[in-house]
Structure 1
């Protein structure tokens, strides 16, 4: 199963200068729960934006056009096709950024979306989704205890 997971504000914003434009503990906890023990894929820019650190207890795959880029403890790929071939028969969770989401959206079986009920400033938006291709299977409301920000954890499956 190929899953895309992301958090966005109510306008679809997902990033600001290579990082998250917010700190919402409830979403970080949800992300951790969803990805723990899984293989995650992200682009090089996203990896750099999170301080080039591997997330514990997850297998990390990186996608970059830079054929010389290497990270100890991560598997580096240079094309969508390479990733799709390597992921045959196993679950893969795509964690960003925008271009990586755009490239893998046509192959996604599942979308796990956090929607924050607030607008933030930034420069990167989630790519356009044809929602007719997906069915909402769960929607869980939340309010973050620290920031007071509320929203929903939505899970969609491809029809």
Structure 2
């Protein structure tokens, strides 16, 4: 089994505010879909709730929701823990898609990361991506860059927000995806 995580983060690693993303970058949503389509996705209940009814479950993906409750999530499987979810996807490539607590708990198990940096401040942010080393430095011991926008350049979204993609692989692991930037 290979696990990878994918997230978008504003300044200071902010990934959300009030149960929602604090920006709209359609190009990042398209990239997320391209990368996760056809693979199981593992998410916490708050991330499931944040998707909105129109997008639940995420189509074309096996959706696994981490929850300790007995609630049902139409079109999704539930898992009581990350270990339970990992057992369910044994032998498959799967994505961790949030939220903050799930990313933090899953980080020791993931072989790859795709991070979209969004050039925005998020006042009042209440959800944050895990702390990672400065992956653009030569001395990042655990992770290596396997894909990055040219010369760490920024793109401009149709909404006017700047963004960039970076893909990282845990050093010493087998490449986890052929084209990490899609």
> Do the structures match in fold with TM over 0.5?
yes
Structure 1 runs of 4+ with >3 Å offset: none
Distance in 1 separating the partners of 2:18 and 2:154: 27
**Alpha-carbon deviations, 1:38-82, whole Å to 9, x = none?**
11111011111112411111110110121x121121110001211
SS in 1 for 2:141: helix
Distance in 1 separating the partners of 2:78 and 2:146: 33
**Which residue of the partner structure matches residue 36 of structure 1?**
37
1:143, CA displacement in angstroms?
2.3
Distance in 2 separating the partners of 1:82 and 1:56: 22
**Which residue of the partner structure matches residue 69 of structure 1?**
71
Is 2:152 the counterpart of 1:150? no
**Which residue of the partner structure matches residue 59 of structure 1?**
62
**Alpha-carbon deviations, 1:8-37, whole Å to 9, x = none?**
013110001111011111111111111111
Distance in 1 separating the partners of 2:13 and 2:5: 15
**Alpha-carbon deviations, 1:84-119, whole Å to 9, x = none?**
222221111010000010110000000010001222
- The two structures, once aligned, show a CA RMSD in angstroms of 1.4
Is 2:13 the counterpart of 1:12? yes
Q: What residue ranges of structure 1 are gaps of 5+ in the alignment?
A: none
SS in 1 for 2:147: strand
Is 2:135 the counterpart of 1:126? no
SS in 1 for 2:38: coil
Are the aligned partners of 2:119 and 2:162 in contact in 1 as well (CA < 8 Å)? yes
Q: What residue ranges of structure 2 are gaps of 5+ in the alignment?
A: 134-139, 172-182
